Amino acid sequence: MISLTSYAFVSMILFSIGVIGVIARRNIFVIYMSIELMLNGINLFLITFARYHFNMDPQIITVMVISIAAAEAAIFLSVIILLFRSKKSLDTDIFTTLTQGERS
């Protein structure tokens, strides 16, 4: 039998890959996709607990999360379009107007 720990392991790996993607990549699409991967990892974690503790509630929560992810996708991609229109680049490091120190 596959234990809870194995599923938890997989889900944490996915979550960690998502976090690393947010930190390490500058491409705005990749950052968004890493966020989606994080959400997926957490969904897996929830479903695992639902299965192993015979509770349906985490599955409902997962439904909520997926619908929120859908809403977020719509907004996020609109913003990406806006940013691309204004700067003609997909680099997140060029948006630094809120700085107080030296601008790099």
Partner 1 sequence: MMSNIIFLALSFFAIAGGVAMLVYRSPMYSALGLLISILSVAGLFALLNATFLFMVQLIVYAGAIMTLILFILMFLNIKDEHLPKEPKKFALIGLGAAIMVPFNIVILKAVSNLPDADMKIVESSFGDIKPIGKLLYNDWIISFELISILLLIALVGSIVLAKRKKVNKEDA
Partner 2 sequence: MMDTSLLVWIILAPLLGAILNGGIYFYHVKRKPVSELVFSIIGTGTPLIAFLITLSLFLQMVDGDITFKQTVFTWLSLDTLNIAMGFLGDNLAIFMAMFVTFVGWLIHIYAIGYMTGDAGFGKFFAYFNLFLASMLILVLADNPIILFIGWEGVGVCSYLLIAFYYTDKDNVIAGNKAFIANRVGDFGFLLGLITLFFALGEVDLSFTSLEANISNASPSLLALSGFLLFVGAMGKSAQIPLYVWLPDAMAGPTPISALIHAATMVTAGVYMVARFHFLYSGIEGIGTFIAYIGAFSALLAAVIATRQQDIKKILAYSTMSQLGYMFIAVGLGFYSSGLFHVFTHAFFKAMLFMGAGGMIIALHHEQNIFKMAQHRVQLPIIGITFLIGVIAISGIPPFSGFFSKDAILAAAFQEGQYLIWAIGMFTAFLTAFYMFRMYFILFVAPNKHAAHYVYTSKTITFPLFILAIGAVGAGFLNLPAIFGGHHLVDTWLAQTNSTHIHMSHLTEYILMALSIIVAVAGIVVAYKKYANFDVYKPEDEKGIIANKFYVDEFYDLVFVQASKKVSTFIDRVLDTKIIDGFIMAICNEFITFGKKVATLQNANVRFYAAFMLIGMSCVFVYLYISLGL
Q: Contact positions toward partner 1, by CB under 8 A?
A: 1-2, 4-10, 12-14, 16-21, 23-27, 29-30, 32-34, 36-37, 40, 43-44, 47-48, 50-54, 56-57, 59-60, 62-64, 66-75, 77-82, 84, 88-93
Compare residues 45 and 102 and give the one whose CB is closer to partner 1.
Answer: 45
Q: Closer CB to partner 1, residue 9 or residue 96?
A: 9
Residue 99 binds: one of partner 2, partner 1, none (C-beta under 5 to 8 A by kind): partner 2
Which residue among 19, 30, 47, 90 contacts partner 2 (CB under 8 A)? 19
d(CA 82, CA 62): 30
Per-residue tokens: 33: 């996709």
